[in-house]
Structure 1
Amino acid sequence: MELLRHNLQVAPLLVDQAEDAAKTAVIPDAEGVLHNMRGYLAWSGGDAEGCMREAPAFERHAVEHGVAVVRAEAAVIWTGAGRPDKVREMIGVFTAEMLTGPR
């Protein structure tokens, strides 16, 4: 929500709080949530280096698990890293057949 409000000052605090919570609680997808938080914060803030650090995690998850929406997210984060080659790689699999297939 804070990123949508462009409240980039509070977002790092929320990431820190989420990291602390993940250390003390059993959260099955904590690492994925943290990658999302850090990745979208970097993208929203124009932090190309932060995007470069987080984009590979999005890509790995998308490719390993075949998750199209995460592949699209990887493309977004790669845009923030200034890597149009990786964006093309991520979205290149979105054929008409794939997009209209079973969900």
Structure 2
Amino acid sequence: MESKGWGLVDSLEIQRTIKGNWIQMYTDGAVKAESGLATVGGVMRDRSGKWILGFNRYLGICSVLEAELWTIFDGLALILNLGHDKVLINTDNMETARAI
């Protein structure tokens, strides 16, 4: 579930109502406060919630926004290489959502 507005929205329920062959991408990045070292990762699921792939990457030193944007970029590159062009992106970072 993700927070949206005043309530919680089950993102798989949203995806089931959308017609077509959409892929759901869940992403997250983490940055250590003391060192600034970041890692990112995500998972891809099909319309029924079935796992397609997972990914992760060590970024080194970067900001939280940079980490969140890199994980979305990495996920999009992977899913496009698999031949999918309809992707719903889930992020837990509002600054990232506004940036894209």
TM-score by length of 2: 0.28
Structure with the bigger percentage of strand: 2
Larger RCO (CA within 8 A; separation ≥ 6): 2
The structure carrying a bigger helix percent of its residues is 1
Which TM-score applies when normalising by structure 1?
0.28
Q: Which has the higher Rg, Structure 1 or Structure 2?
A: 1
